[in-house]
Structure 1
């Protein structure tokens, strides 16, 4: 009896959002108030947040002007397991899901971020101006004027075994826009290892899968597949630096540069393949213009339509002759 009384007394002092043995704050399934409180606490003191497995957290209203959840200003990690954070499809407000502010750090593990909508602004799923690390995470079904999935402006963005799919931008950067922070004159840095950019759309400008603007991007062992845009169906790059290692650009569609459009930029493809992409006019595989430098190292540009590389001679080792698909 004494032991039971002692146990009962100890349970009464447990916090509503208890920390687990590793120090993470656990948030009950779809407890949005608890999630907001946990983020605010982590912003202040740093910390990890663990969400319920196999659960969907549905945001019905915005926390602030453009974001469904509080801005990330501290060092925050959110972990799930087959867990989704989404904007309610019936929400009357337009907002993205997450915003990492300058100086903030956010890590997402085993999560899906979906349904964000900002038709008149950028970053439908996530806006990052700080440091954003995605591990086994999916950014899916978000929409914005620019950067349907992720808007990385002068920040550090790393994706490991993660997927960016079925996002839409009215202008450019259907999946991801990696760009320079104009106020700080600081380029964005994108590193992606494993995972995929697939079936994203930029409706009226460039970069169905990825738009790399005046910034640096390195994709290693990534599948860039089934994306569409007027320019650079898979990847569109302007005044940037791009490196593709063991990466495949396949089944992307554009007016120019079905797989890759490279303009005023430097690109290197290492052990990579650009295949079965389609351009309506030219550069089915690669459209390399404005004195851009592009090198192929143990890489192949094959079976694209109506051609592999355009203009002729712009990509050493890649012909501009019409491709024949087998």
Structure 2
């Protein structure tokens, strides 16, 4: 009975957290702006929305190839992508695609973010210092020193739902995502990301929840690489909770290849960790309860 009650409570928590994660907040009073298929028009629309907030509706299927960085998000802004891609132009210098300042709240839906480059910094695709909701979007082929795809900085709140995080690279930690704040990932796939040191898929040193998601085929291939799938570190306060999720087929140079827990706590609730190399969790300085091999 104790086990059944725990399972019921866990599933209720999943349902509630998923609703929170997938809720794309649209501000009713905010102006709606149709953004033509032009990088300059997108930059101008963000600048205008930073004054009083707004909803930006991108041109369906457009590729916004940026020659220079977009303005940081400093107010409540919703971007409805309609299948559009926001990417760094091939000839452009290195810069990330989107930045959310501490005062900003960005909701991003149905958009692909690609080819951001924050080498020497944090968050190659998106850096979040405020509040970020990403729904039904693709974050791919971005790079940075830390958090190649999405980086949630100290004090930030990040929600990712029904999205794909793939092909991103970090020189140090968090190939797909890195979290220093409060991050929830729900019903998403984190695949084929690379971090040379810790957390090829995800790196966390604060509060991370992963719900109904797949973390597969990520790697930490550097000389000191550990935790090809997930890395939890940063002190006793770092917590990673996985619910109804799978960590599989990830690799690292050193054990473990699946989940690395340096300190703090990792909880597996109705989740599986298997077929990671060289081990699933064995080799972590702090054990991951319920993880074998």
TM-score (norm 1): 0.76
Listed as ranges, the matches of 1:172-251 within 5 Å are 172-179=173-180, 188-203=181-196, 205-213=197-205, 215-229=206-220, 230-238=225-233, 239=235, 240-251=238-249
d(CA) in 2 for partners of 1:22, 1:241: 36
Q: Residue in 2 aligned with 1:54?
A: 61
Structure 1 residues not aligned, in runs of 5+: 1-20, 62-67, 180-187, 302-307, 310-326
d(CA) in 1 for partners of 2:276, 2:255: 11
Q: Residue in 2 aligned with 1:36?
A: 43
* Deviation per residue, 1:142-177 (Å, 9 max, x gap): 011111111111210001101111000111111111
Structure 2 residues not aligned, in runs of 5+: 1-28
Task: Say if 1:194 and 1:220, in contact at 8 Å, map to a contact too.
Answer: yes
**When you count strand as a share of all residues, which structure comes out higher?**
1
Q: Residue in 1 aligned with 2:129?
A: 129
Displacement after TM superposition at 1:34 (Å)? 1.4
Runs of 4+ in 1 over 4 A off after TM superposition: none
* Deviation per residue, 1:198-255 (Å, 9 max, x gap): 100002x101000101x00000000000000111000011031011000000110012
d(CA) in 2 for partners of 1:55, 1:37: 16
d(CA) in 1 for partners of 2:63, 2:165: 18
d(CA) in 1 for partners of 2:287, 2:247: 18
Task: Say if 1:208 and 1:228, in contact at 8 Å, map to a contact too.
Answer: yes
Q: Residue in 2 aligned with 1:171?
A: 172
- CA RMSD across the alignment: 1.5
* Deviation per residue, 1:89-142 (Å, 9 max, x gap): 221x11000110112100100000000012222211111110000000111000
d(CA) in 2 for partners of 1:89, 1:23: 32
**When you count helix as a share of all residues, which structure comes out higher?**
2
Q: Does 1:295 align with 2:280?
A: no
Task: Say if 1:142 and 1:168, in contact at 8 Å, map to a contact too.
Answer: yes
Secondary structure of the residue aligned to 2:174 is: coil
Secondary structure of the residue aligned to 2:73 is: coil
Q: How many residues align?
A: 256
Q: Residue in 2 aligned with 1:267?
A: 266
d(CA) in 1 for partners of 2:30, 2:62: 21
d(CA) in 2 for partners of 1:260, 1:253: 10
Displacement after TM superposition at 1:22 (Å)? 8.7
Task: Say if 1:288 and 1:294, in contact at 8 Å, map to a contact too.
Answer: no
**Larger CA Rg, structure 1 vs 2:** 1
d(CA) in 2 for partners of 1:89, 1:95: 11
